[in-house]
Amino acid sequence: MPAVAVEETSATTLNPLEIVEEIVVANEWPFDRSHEDELVVEIAARWCDYRLYFVWQPEVSAMQFSCQFDMKAPKARRHDLNELLAQVNGKMWLGHFDICPDEHTPMFRHTSLLRGAPRASVEQMEDLVEIALMECERFYPAFQFVISGGKTASEAVTASILDTVGEA
């Protein structure tokens, strides 16, 4: 297996959570910053309250982000939920949906690689949060139909997601 060459540079990527915290404070969202590399935010939206997790990994200059729903998946619905994940993720362009293994809750996830950039931009962090919330709101009804409504993945997608084609 070929080795990957790594060149040491004096430039380090600054912690993007500093920017995220500025955005959170400006929006007056409740948050907790228990560690310099972790930030948790609560956001009330149309369908539910979402819990946003930001974790900075300075060793690889990557920020992992997740947006967790406030619903739990009962064990009996997990097969249909996994089918829903496959269908929904096929419609995603950025990030993906997953199930939190500890809490069995749906969540949007995305990791941003920032190596080589001295700093993430405010616009990048705003876009990440905006896209995540938009996708969570878009697909929340499908998750609700499977978890609480007893629908199959296909029924949930058909009942809740209208993808527009063309212009009106």
In a domain, 6, yes or no: no
What is the domain extent for residue 44?
17-160
In a domain, 3, yes or no: no
In a domain, 99, yes or no: yes
**pLDDT of the chain, 168 residues: tens digit per residue:** 555 544 544 456 689 999 999 999 999 999 999 899 999 999 999 989 999 999 999 999 999 999 999 999 888 888 999 999 999 999 888 999 999 988 899 999 999 998 887 788 899 999 999 999 999 999 999 999 999 998 999 899 888 766 555 565
Q: How many domains does the chain have?
A: 1
In a domain, 168, yes or no: no
C-alpha 111/C-alpha 30 separation (Å) is 23
In a domain, 28, yes or no: yes
CB 60 within 8 A of CB 53: no
In a domain, 77, yes or no: yes
What pLDDT score does 118 carry? 77
What pLDDT score does 163 carry? 56
What pLDDT score does 164 carry? 52
What pLDDT score does 130 carry? 93
CATH of the domain at 141: 3.30.1460.10
C-alpha 58/C-alpha 35 separation (Å) is 13
C-alpha 116/C-alpha 14 separation (Å) is 10
